[in-house]
């Protein structure tokens, strides 16, 4: 894994430099939540979701029929990234520092970053955020405070991207959580070959439904 240290005083970084880095297969991470530095990361192998390889268990499909969550898109981006960075009993540190938050908040304001939010009784209980460039959605992080909330945010994202004519979701790394849904790992060289073509596509994140809450029966 390539890791190049960059320091940004006062947490300043041009958003176009971040877009350029993603287009070249890099993404930013901090070592800790309190770190004042970020690194550009380039894994030797890349985790991805191909939409035709997605696996959803019968149990989750059955739960989905009951519409347990209300879902919105791009309404609470700040709350989602704050929740993803929150330290918990199971997570005593995170790679999302203040620099990362400010980078993605600006990308959201510029229309590149997006969030999916899940609610129960109007309370935000799960979600995810990431970056959209061409035909690739670069997934960054997700959270949940109740069972299955982040899963349903992911399932909605997958359906939205399929309809919007995206090629894949970049998960950056691979773990057991992602593997259960069909994520695979490919060599970085292959990923960059795909990346070069996919970022030129004119995919549409809002083709399925515009920003806001989805109708309950959607």
Chain segment 107-151, per-residue pLDDT in tens: 999 999 999 999 999 999 999 999 999 999 999 999 999 999 999
β-sheet with 2-7: strand ranges across: 2-7, 37-42, 27-29
Note the pTM of the prediction, 2 decimals: 0.92
Share of the chain above pLDDT 90, in %: 73
SS3 assignment, position 77? helix
DSSP secondary structure code for residue 154 in this structure: H
Q: Which two tokens stand for residue 132?
A: 């959209």
**Residues in Cβ contact with 168 at an 8 Å cutoff, skipping those fewer than 6 apart:** 48, 49, 50, 51, 135, 136, 137, 194, 198
Query: pLDDT, tens digit, for every residue of 74-107?
Result: 999 999 999 999 977 677 788 999 989 999 999 9
Of 169, 177, 164, the residue nearest 194 (C-alpha): 169
H or E segment and range at residue 105: helix 98-109
Question: How far, CA to CA in Å, does 123 sit from each of 70, 126, 211?
Answer: 9, 9, 18
pLDDT of residue 8: 52
| Signed CA dihedral, 13, 164, 183, 81: sign only | positive
């Amino acid at each position: 894994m390539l890791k190049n240290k960059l320091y940004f005083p006062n947490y300043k970084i041009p958003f176009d430099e971040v877009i350029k880095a993603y287009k070249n297969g890099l993404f930013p991470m901090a070592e800790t939540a309190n770190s004042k530095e970020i690194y550009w990361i380039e894994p030797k192998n890349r985790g991805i979701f191909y939409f035709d390889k997605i696996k959803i268990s019968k149990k989750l499909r059955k739960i989905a029929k009951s519409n347990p969550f209300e879902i919105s898109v791009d309404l609470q981006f700040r709350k989602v990234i704050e929740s993803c960075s929150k330290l918990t009993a199971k997570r005593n540190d995170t790679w999302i520092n203040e620099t990362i938050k400010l980078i993605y908040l600006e990308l959201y304001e510029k229309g590149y970053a997006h969030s999916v939010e899940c609610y129960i009784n109007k309370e935000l209980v799960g979600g995810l955020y990431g970056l959209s460039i061409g035909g690739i959605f670069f997934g960054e992080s997700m959270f949940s405070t109740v069972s299955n909330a982040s899963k349903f945010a992911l399932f909605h994202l997958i359906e939205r991207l399929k309809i919007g004519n995206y090629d894949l979701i970049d998960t950056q790394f691979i773990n057991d959580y992602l593997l259960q849904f069909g994520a695979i790992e490919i060599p970085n060289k292959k990923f960059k070959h795909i990346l070069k073509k996919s970022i030129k596509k004119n995919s549409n994140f809002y083709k399925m439904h515009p920003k806001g809450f989805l109708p309950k029966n959607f």
